[in-house]
Amino acid sequence: MAEDSPFIVAEIGINHNGDLGIAKSLIDLAKDAGCNAVKFQKRTIEIVYSPEMLAAPRESPWGTTTRQQKEGLEFGKKEYDEIDLYCRKVGIDWFASAWDIPSQDFLRQYDVKYNKIASAMLTHWDFTEYVAKERKQTFVSTGMSTIEEIDKAVGIFRKHNCPFVLMHTVSTYPCKDEECNILMVKTLKDKYGCRVGYSGHEVGVLPSVLAAVMGAEVLERHITLDRAMYGSDQAASLERRGLEILVRDSRHAKSILGSGVKTISDAEKAVAKKLRYFRGNVS
């Protein structure tokens, strides 16, 4: 990964609403803000959703059933070919979280640098093992998971000698600030002795910046062109200015923290020379 710290992933997910033009605009937004990578989501809807759910009524821009909505949001090979070319042109990495094994196989053709285990997929152990066997840098989200389940996931990745980053996550959309539990970043780092990140779903940027202060090496946030757009993830996403502030403040946090060693800078010595100069004795 890049030397920038933290490594920042702009989660486009399905916020493109099935529109390649919106996807490209979001890629541009992430690149302009200084993010390291963008992430999408890939599903085989017949595997991820039951026939009953797909047939259920659901109003959307694409029709009146859940199937029509899910199909409208799903990119195929034509779109991902274009995304791959566009990201190379712009100069930003991309990858995607697969929600089933055929989708993971689909993504392999692009030879992206990273994999992602979404929180919803963590306990699908056959899938988690399948991804770990690739031995590709993987971001592992831990939302909705117990410590015992995280233990098992960590064991799988270590068994296959697959590099991973545990991503503290709270799977509510949006997540209230008081539920973010940012101290979990330190808890995961201390318990597992591994690289740790934070995948946030809060409305603002402060929890993500605090995660960087706590030692998160990777930050992931959903992004959008407009929070009022159609979509379940839009309200928990950052628009342009929020993303710019997140990148700026999270990367500046390390220099603000300093080394923890007491020193006196040359600038401070100059001030001391003025403020500690006295004529005569002071009793």
| Window from 92-106, 112-126, 253-267, 268-282 with minimum mean pLDDT | 268-282
For 177-208, the pLDDT digits (tens) are 999 999 999 999 999 999 999 999 999 999 99
Domains and CATH numbers, the chain: 7-275 (3.20.20.70)
Of 249, 247, 255, 256, the residue nearest 36 (C-alpha)? 247
User: What residue has token string 């700026």?
Assistant: 248
Q: Is 55 strand, coil or helix?
A: helix
How much is the pLDDT for 79?
98
Q: What pLDDT, on the 0 to 100 scale, is given for residue 245?
A: 98
pLDDT given at position 282: 52
pLDDT of residue 276: 85
Instruction: Compute the C-alpha angle 59/61/65, nearest 5°.
Output: 40
Three-state SS across 123-134? CCHHHHHHHHCC
pLDDT in tens, 34-86: 999 999 999 999 999 999 999 999 999 999 999 999 999 999 999 999 999 99
Q: Are 62 and 45 in contact (CB under 8 A)?
A: no
Model pLDDT, residue 279: 55
Count the neighbouring beta carbons within 10 Å of the beta carbon of residue 175: 19
Q: What are phi and psi of 202, to 5 degrees?
A: -75, 170
Does the structure show a pLDDT above 60 at 1?
A: no
Contact 166, 191 (CB under 8 A): no
Q: Is the peptide bond before 174 cis (omega within 30 degrees of 0)?
A: yes
Contact 204, 177 (CB under 8 A): yes
pTM for the model stands at: 0.93
277 pLDDT higher than 90: no
Looking up tokens 């389940």 gives 149
Count of alpha carbons within 13 Å of 144, Cβ hemisphere only? 11
In sequence order, the β-bridge partners of residue 97 are 41, 116
Task: Note the pLDDT of residue 5.
Answer: 87
